[in-house]
Amino acid sequence: MFTHSAPLDTSFSMHDCRATGLRIERGALIFTFEDGVWACAGSAVNPGEKTIRTGRADVRLDGFTAEETELAYFRELRFFGWKAAELRKHLTLEALERCVNSGRWELEFKDAFSAGCAYLFRGLVWQKRRPYLMEFELSVEASGMTCFWDALRPECEW
């Protein structure tokens, strides 16, 4: 298990971080970041002047409801090399869990928004075959978000 935990507020950022694991256990949705997340400069967890990475980290959304969770990804349709349309496709949590945990997909988080118990994440789906990346939006209702990590890595600065 991890030695540190703190609410995922302004102390951390998942921007440009890739989730390589996903699990659902005891009413929580948990993302695993093998390369860690960013500990923001001047925060309670990182009082230094530079934003640095944590070691391997888990981000846990507690009290989430699968019924109120929606994932969409966007896939381009090309006609003779030209972008003809962009399809919005929906995916179940179970299918997302399979894609991420099998290594087919990694989720790179770009933006995170929250209002009360509602969270909206936007980012990129990375995969090993064409199309190599797609945009995604994940909407989750949860009671809170917590980051778990072991150590800060001062050699990995932003």
Residue 129, pLDDT > 90, answer no
The 10s digit of each residue's pLDDT in 59-89 is: 999 998 888 889 998 887 778 888 888 888 8
Whole-number Cα distances in Å, 155 to 6, 56, 60, 72, 103: 21, 15, 25, 35, 27
Per-residue pLDDT tens digits for 21-66? 999 998 999 999 999 999 999 999 999 999 999 999 999 999 988 8
The pTM of the full predicted model, rounded to 2 decimals, is 0.90
> Looking at the DSSP assignment, which residues form a beta bridge with residue 73?
89, 136
- pLDDT tens, position by position, 84-108: 888 888 999 999 999 999 999 999 9
